[in-house]
Amino acid sequence: MTIMHFVVSFVLAYLFGSMPFGYWIGKLFYHKDLLKLGSGNIGTTNTFRVLGTTAGVTVLILDILKGSAGALMANIWGTTPAWTHMVVGLGAILGHTFSMWIGFKGGKAVATSMGVLLTYNPIMFIIAFAIFLLVILFTSMVSVASMVGFTLVSLLSIFWLHDWLLSTIAVALTIFVFYRHRTNIARIKNGTESLVHFGFGYWHQEKKN
């Protein structure tokens, strides 16, 4: 892959990643603007919070798929090594976080990063997704599942896979995800973080109420 090929692939990945599915779904089907509700974020967490489980799951899937589609832009010039999917996929993550369609605002890079991971290392994707689901089922908090998932993927890539590229990007994204979830962390500490309408955390809260 030449430098020009990489630039074109990266830009195409950005364009895929920049599609704000949460914002579009909120506007088209719920007549709500996610940029003005909840945390003002168009990603999975705020979609769950503002629009509900159906919209949240839909946006989760679409954001994963756009991450994979972006990463696969590395292959438009022919078969390329797996590492190029990860590097080109950063364009999709950047697009999701700073979407050109909504004034360069965006999500917290969780689902789109998982989509990139799916093309780079499907086994790690399955592990990461399983962790994500298990933590949601226990805590009913997408934010906690996101932060725990990224942390464990980073540790696994460092100490199990010994994959320097994945480890470097995973650690950088983990720091970024924690930063983007700083308001969620404050709400978790205060006991005011929103819960999805399933899982042990939600059941326990409903039982208390």
Model confidence pLDDT, tens digit, residues 175-187: 999 999 999 999 9
Taking the model in full, what pTM does it have?
Answer: 0.93
| Residue 93 and residue 110 in contact, taking contact as beta carbons nearer than 8 Å | no
> What string of H, E and C letters represents the secondary structure of 148-191?
HHHHHHHHHHHHHHCCHHHHHHHHHHHHHHHHHCHHHHHHHHHC
Give the range among 91-100, 112-121, 154-163, 191-200 with minimum mean pLDDT.
191-200
The chain-wide mean pLDDT, for the chain, equals: 94
Average pLDDT over residues 162-179: 96
CB atoms within 10 A of CB 126: 12
Average pLDDT over residues 20-49: 92
Question: Residue 149 has which token pair?
Answer: 């998932």
Question: Residue 95 has which token pair?
Answer: 């697009």
Nearest to 14 by CA among 99, 113, 80: 99
| Residue 171 and residue 70 in contact, taking contact as beta carbons nearer than 8 Å | no
Q: What is the DSSP letter of 192?
A: -
Which comes out higher in pLDDT, residue 41 or 15?
15
Whether the per-residue pLDDT at 15 is higher than 80: the answer is yes
Q: Give domain limits for the chain.
A: 3-199
Whether the per-residue pLDDT at 1 is higher than 80: the answer is no
